[in-house]
Amino acid sequence: MSAPTWTGRIRARGLDAFPPERLLPDTQPAYVASWIYVFGVLTLAAFLVVLGSGAVIALAGPAWWHTSSIGHFFNSIHLWSTELFFFFMVVHLWGKFFMAAWRGRRALTWVTGAVSFLVSIATAFTGYLTQQNFDSQWIGTQAKDGLNASGAGAFFNVLNFGQMLMWHILLLPLVVALLTGGHILLVRRRGVVPPL
Amino acid sequence: MRPVSYPQHADPAAEWTGPKRRYDIVKEATIALVAVALLAVLLAAIFSSPDVKPVTVAEWASTQPNDFLATAVSELDGTSGVATYGPPYTHVAGAGQNIVGGVSIERALGVQIPINPARAFVLDPLSIPATTNPQLARALAVYEHAPQAEQHAWAEAFGAAVAKGNVVRLVRQHPNRYGPVPVLMAELLAIARSGGLDGALVSTDRFYQTNFTKALLFLADGSYLESLAQKEHLLGSQWGMMNETGNYPGQAWLWLYTFWYQIPPFSTSSNADAQIWAIMAVLSLAFVCIPFIPGVRSIPRIVPLYRVIWRDYYRRAGRQVGDSNTS
């Protein structure tokens, strides 16, 4: 018999960790019965709206929304979905904190969520830097002092529009998406933490 | 005896074997996405989003020529914000914020975005019109070939004249005191007002440009940008950059970071940025590591909010205990 392939091993491990009924469940433990549980999926939904509205702005380039009413409207959706995203995520985080949701080998679930929150702050921050308006000028010239004092400013130049745009539309959203994906898979793997 | 469906202390590491309820993850995600998208569209339609036009050097030079000239000459005599900033822009002995004692990451990393303020903000932009302006070309040559002490004396004298308010009259009274600096400054002001300096500050030897570091540093060295920010309640003492123009929520999630700048000793510390970033780094690490920090990870057990979240579960568990006692 030939040795198992890399593909075969990954498939076997994947099916072992995430059998279909665990990945896409149609039942939940009876204790999952509170409005607080909704804020996780609301955060994910807001993230998708942020990505979608950002993608529409990207179609015509970063300066489009300054000269087009349609572009400005999509920028407004981008702004408000970001505000909703953070609101939902903060409620979700507090909820999980008071559930001590890291119990039962779920510490990594908490860690990925917390890091995702911090990276999301950086993502939104670079968005403010790349608006190409007075807010961007002021926020950039103020923020540079903190970043320079931390040492990060030597390599992460908030006054360099091109660099910040790339971080905002590619690098940081990619990190948030990967962390969010890992976070969700961990929730599916370990299940929802039972009551204290 | 009946099996325990709602254990008082379920093992969080074990697979849940108790009662379950019907759940449709795809339906829930779809409803959430549609609801949030509609809410975002509604908020966008009602409140829109701010878009205050960016400040240009042309606007600054036309609106506040004295502030522009004072800033430009401070770049020449080495007293401007950028000239005295230190790393990552300029080589200034001892400059750079300390986290504690003499520990400075800024200094340790050194100058990574080198800027020569006199050359970047004044001399290089002037070299463009100097190719077609003989008077300016002569003034530039005189300035650049003069000893450094003389350059400094001319610029300092011109800066003092600008500060007194009537620079034209003062230059006419003592023309030799300022050397070629009045010609340089007059030309720079004219280029700035025409919009030429906005372009010159971002130009390099390449065609496409995406880096506004020099232009923004020059704007920030003046007081015009700050005066506009003050009107919009954006200064550091006004909760700074977590706000945005107009009545919008801004980056409310930066409240803790911005909070430190409002209180002593940070509100008066010259090392506030380094200290606050160090504090936030420690707090952020602690936030990520909550599951591993004794005491902090036990707070949820002390604050019984979980009793509210799982009230239905505890009601059933309590009823179950009562039933088993009576059976």
The structural domains of chain A, with segments of one domain joined by +, span 35-84, 99-196
Same domain (yes/no): B143, B187: yes
Domain membership flag for residue B51: no
Phi-psi region of B240 (alpha: psi -120 to 50; beta: other; left: phi over 0): left
Same domain (yes/no): B86, B137: yes
Dump pLDDT digits (tens) for B223-240.
999 999 999 888 877 777
Dump pLDDT digits (tens) for A114-137.
999 999 999 999 999 999 999 999
Q: What is the pLDDT of residue B241?
A: 66
Closest residue in A to B95 (Cα–Cα): A149
Q: What is the pLDDT of residue B122?
A: 97
**H or E segment to which residue A29 belongs:** strand A27-29
Same domain (yes/no): B137, B216: yes
The last residue of one of the domains, among B270, B288, B306, is B288
Q: Measure CB to CB from residue B300 to each of A83, A97, A159 and give the nearest one.
A: A97
Mean pLDDT computed over A144-159: 96
Domain membership flag for residue B256: yes
Domain membership flag for residue B309: no
B249 vs A: CB within 8 A:
yes
Give the count of domains, chain B.
Answer: 2
What span, in angstroms and rounded, lies between the C-alpha atoms of B125 and B196?
9
Residue A29 pairs in a beta bridge with B20
Six-digit token pair at A57?
């702005």
Q: What is the domain range of residue B241?
A: 232-288
CA B132 to chain centre: 39
Domain membership flag for residue B97: yes
Q: What is the pLDDT of residue B317?
A: 85
A79 vs B: CB within 8 A:
yes
Q: What is the pLDDT of residue A4?
A: 87
B242 vs A: CB within 8 A:
no
Give the type of residue at B306. Y
Give buried/exposed letters for B19-30 (b at 16+ CB in 10 A, else e): eeeeeeeeeeee
Same domain (yes/no): B81, B199: yes
Same domain (yes/no): B158, B238: no
Q: What is the pLDDT of residue B321?
A: 72
Query: Omega into B249 within 30° of 0, i.e. cis?
Result: no
Chain A environment of B297 (Cβ under 8 Å): 100, 102
**Could A30 and B313 be called an inter-chain contact, meaning their C-beta atoms sit closer than 8 Å?**
yes
Q: Which one of 1.20.1250.20, 1.20.810.10, 3.40.50.1470, 2.60.40.10 gives the CATH number of domain A99-196?
A: 1.20.810.10
Query: Which residue shows structure tokens 């008066």?
Result: B268
Those residues whose C-beta lies under 8 Å from the C-beta of residue B210, and which sit 6 or more positions away, are: A160, A161, A162, A163, A165
Give the type of residue at B129. P
Secondary structure of residue A5 in the 3-state scheme: coil
Domain membership flag for residue B301: no
Give the type of residue at B251. Q
Same domain (yes/no): B156, B257: no
Same domain (yes/no): B148, B236: no
Same domain (yes/no): B65, B180: yes
**Could A161 and B277 be called an inter-chain contact, meaning their C-beta atoms sit closer than 8 Å?**
no
Domain membership flag for residue B258: yes
Closest residue in A to B213 (Cα–Cα): A159
**Could A75 and B87 be called an inter-chain contact, meaning their C-beta atoms sit closer than 8 Å?**
no
**Could A98 and B284 be called an inter-chain contact, meaning their C-beta atoms sit closer than 8 Å?**
no
Chain B environment of A76 (Cβ under 8 Å): 43-45, 47-49
Dump pLDDT digits (tens) for B19-66.
999 999 999 999 999 999 999 999 999 999 999 999 999 999 999 999
> Can you give the three-state secondary structure of chain B, one letter per residue?
CCCCCCCCCCCCCCCCCCCEEECCHHHHHHHHHHHHHHHHHHHHHHHCCCCCCCCCHHHHHHHCHHHHHHHHHHHHHCCCCCCCCCCCCCCCCCCCCCCECCECHHHHHCCCCCCCHHHHHHHHHHHCHHHCCHHHHHHHHHHHHCCHHHHHHHHHHHHHHHHHCCHHHHHHHCHHHHCCHHHHHHHHHHHHHHCHHHHHCCCCCCCCCCCCHHHHHHHHHCCHHHHHHHHCCCCHHHCHHHCCCCCCCCCHHHHHHHHHCCCCCHHHCCCHHHHHHHHHHHHHHHHHCHHHCCCHHHHHHHCCHHHHHCHHHHHHHHHHHHHHHHC
Domain membership flag for residue B11: no
> Chain B closest CA to A195's CA: distance in Å?
7
Q: Measure CB to CB from residue A137 to each of B12, B225, B240 and give the nearest one.
A: B225
Same domain (yes/no): B199, B254: no
Q: Measure CB to CB from residue B313 to each of A31, A98, A162 and give the nearest one.
A: A31
**Could A38 and B32 be called an inter-chain contact, meaning their C-beta atoms sit closer than 8 Å?**
yes
* pLDDT, averaged across chain A: 96
The answer to whether A163 touches A157, Cβ cutoff 8 Å, is yes
Global confidence as pTM:
0.94
Same domain (yes/no): B203, B257: no
Those residues whose C-beta lies under 8 Å from the C-beta of residue A120, and which sit 6 or more positions away, are: A85, A86, A89, A176
B266 vs A: CB within 8 A:
no
| CB-count burial class (<10 Å; 0-12, 13-18, 19+) for B222 | buried
Nearest to A88 by CA among A46, A146, A28, A129: A46
B302 vs A: CB within 8 A:
no
Please list the ranges in chain B whose pLDDT falls under 50. Answer: 1
The answer to whether A46 touches B40, Cβ cutoff 8 Å, is yes
Mean pLDDT computed over A104-111: 97
Domain membership flag for residue B327: no
> Chain B closest CA to A111's CA: distance in Å?
5
> Residues 192 to 211 of B: which have CB under 8 A from any A CB?
210-211
Same domain (yes/no): B208, B273: no
Name the phi and psi angles at B100, rounded to 5.
-155, 140
Same domain (yes/no): B131, B211: yes
